[in-house]
Amino acid sequence: MDSIKELLKIKIFADGADLNVMVKMASKPFISGFTTNPTLMRKVGITNYERFAKDVLNEIQTKPISFEVFSDEIDEIKVQAEKIASWGNNVYVKIPITNTRGESMRPVIKYLSNIGIKLNVTALMTETQVEGILEALNPAIGSYISVFAGRIADTGRDPIPIMKKCLTILSENQKSELIWASPRELLNIFQANEIGCHVITTTDGILDKFDLIGLDLHTLSLNTVKMFYEDAKKSAFYL
| E-only strand ranges, the chain | 11-15, 31-35, 65-68, 91-96, 119-124, 143-147, 176-180, 199-202
CA gap 31, 26 in Å, rounded: 6
CA gap 223, 221 in Å, rounded: 5
**In this structure, how many other beta carbons lie within 10 angstroms of the beta carbon of residue 123?**
19
Backbone angles phi, psi at 34, to 5 degrees: -140, 150
CA gap 68, 25 in Å, rounded: 20
> Coil, strand or helix: which one is 144?
strand
Backbone angles phi, psi at 46, to 5 degrees: -75, 130
80, amino acid identity: Q
* 94 noted as active-site residue: yes
Please pick, among 9, 54, 83, 94, the residue that the annotation labels catalytic: 94
Residues recognised as catalytic: 94
